[in-house]
A and B are shown apart, each in its own frame.
Chain A
Amino acid sequence: MSIGAIPSRYRIRIDRDQCMLCERCIESCPYGVFRKNGETIHVDSRKCTACHRCIAMCPRDAISLLEHPIDYRSHPIWTREVRESIYNQARTGKIILAGMGNAQPLPAIFDRLLLDACQVTNPSIDPLREPMELRTYIGKKPSRLEIRRTPEGDLDLVTELAPNLEAETPILIAHMSYGAISLNAQKSLAMAATEVKTFMGTGEGGLHPALYPYQDRMIVQVASGRFGVDINYLERGAAIEIKIGQGAKPGIGGHLPGEKVDADVSATRMIPVGSDAISPAPHHDIYSIEDLKQLVRGLKEATEWKKPVFVKIAAVHNVAAIAAGIARSSADAVVVDGFRGGTGAAPRVFRDQVGLPIEAAIAAVDQKLRDQGIRNEVSLIASGGIRESADVAKAIALGADAIYIGTASLVAMGCRVCGNCYRGLCPWGIATQREDLTARLDPREGSVLVSNLIHAWTLELSELMGAAGINSIESLRGNRDRLRGYMLDEGILKVLDVKPVGA
Chain B
Amino acid sequence: MCGIIGVIDRRKEPMDGLRIKKALSQMNERGSGEGAGYAVYGVYPEYKDYYALHVFFNNIHETKDALDATLEQWGRIVHDEEIPTYEQPNLRKTHTPWRYFFKPDKKLMAWSKSPEDDIVTYLVMKINAERKGSLVFSSGKNIGVFKASGWPEDVANFYRIEDYAGYLWLGHNRYPTNTPGWWGGAHPFNLLGWSVVHNGEITSYGTNRRYIESFGYQCTMYTDTEVVAYLIDLLVRKHGLSEELAVKALAPPFWDEIDIMAPRQKMVAKALRLAYGSALMNGPFAIVVANQESMVGFTDRIKLRPLVGGTCGNRVFVSSEEAAIRAMEPDIEHVYMPRAGEPIIGKVIP
- Partner-B contacts on A (CB < 8 A): 118, 120-123, 125, 130-131, 133, 135, 137, 141-147, 154-157, 159, 161, 164, 370-371, 373, 375-376, 397, 468-472, 474-482
Q: Which residues of B contact A123 (CB under 8 A)?
A: 284, 304
User: With A471-B302, A474-B278 in contact, do A155 and B265 touch (Cβ < 8 Å)?
Assistant: yes
**Partner pick for B203 among A146, A164, A470, A477, CB 8 A cutoff:** A470
The answer to whether A477 touches B277 (Cβ under 8 A) is yes
What are 6 of the A-B contact pairs (CB < 8 Å)?
A144-B275, A155-B265, A470-B283, A475-B207, A475-B280, A478-B211
Quick one: closest B residue to A121, CB to CB?
Answer: B177
Chain A CB within 8 A of B209 CB? yes
CB distance from B202 to the nearest CB of A (A): 9
The answer to whether A474 touches B203 (Cβ under 8 A) is no
The answer to whether A470 touches B282 (Cβ under 8 A) is yes
The answer to whether A147 touches B302 (Cβ under 8 A) is no
The answer to whether B274 touches A137 (Cβ under 8 A) is yes
The answer to whether A157 touches B255 (Cβ under 8 A) is no
Quick one: closest A residue to B200, CB to CB?
Answer: A122
Q: Which residues of B contact A397 (CB under 8 A)?
A: 206
CB distance from A399 to the nearest CB of B (A): 8
- Partner-A contacts on B (CB < 8 A): 177-178, 200-201, 203-207, 209-211, 213-215, 239-241, 245, 254-256, 264-265, 267-268, 270-275, 277-278, 280-284, 301-302, 304
CB distance from B1 to the nearest CB of A (A): 9
**Partner pick for A133 among B215, B255, B267, B270, CB 8 A cutoff:** B255
Q: Which residues of A contact B272 (CB under 8 A)?
A: 145
The answer to whether A480 touches B203 (Cβ under 8 A) is no
**Partner pick for B284 among A122, A135, A154, A468, CB 8 A cutoff:** A122
Quick one: closest A residue to B272, CB to CB?
Answer: A145
CB distance from A116 to the nearest CB of B (A): 9
CB distance from B294 to the nearest CB of A (A): 17
Q: Which residues of A contact B281 (CB under 8 A)?
A: 475
Q: Which residues of B contact A121 (CB under 8 A)?
A: 177-178, 201
User: With A137-B274, A155-B264 in contact, do A122 and B203 touch (Cβ < 8 Å)?
Assistant: yes
**Partner pick for B280 among A147, A164, A373, A472, CB 8 A cutoff:** A472
CB distance from B251 to the nearest CB of A (A): 11
**Partner pick for B274 among A133, A164, A370, A476, CB 8 A cutoff:** A164
User: With A147-B241, A156-B264 in contact, do A479 and B207 touch (Cβ < 8 Å)?
Assistant: yes
Counting chain B CB atoms within 10 Å of each CB, the highest count among A120, A159, A479 belongs to A479
CA gap between A146 and B204 in the complex, in Å: 25
Q: Which residues of A contact B268 (CB under 8 A)?
A: 147, 155-157
Q: Which residues of B contact A478 (CB under 8 A)?
A: 206-207, 210-211, 278
The answer to whether A370 touches B283 (Cβ under 8 A) is no
> Considering the complex of A and B, which 9 residue pairs feature the smallest CB-CB distances, nearest first?
A481-B206, A475-B204, A474-B277, A475-B282, A479-B206, A469-B203, A370-B214, A122-B201, A121-B177
CB distance from A263 to the nearest CB of B (A): 44
CB distance from B3 to the nearest CB of A (A): 16
The answer to whether A122 touches B283 (Cβ under 8 A) is yes
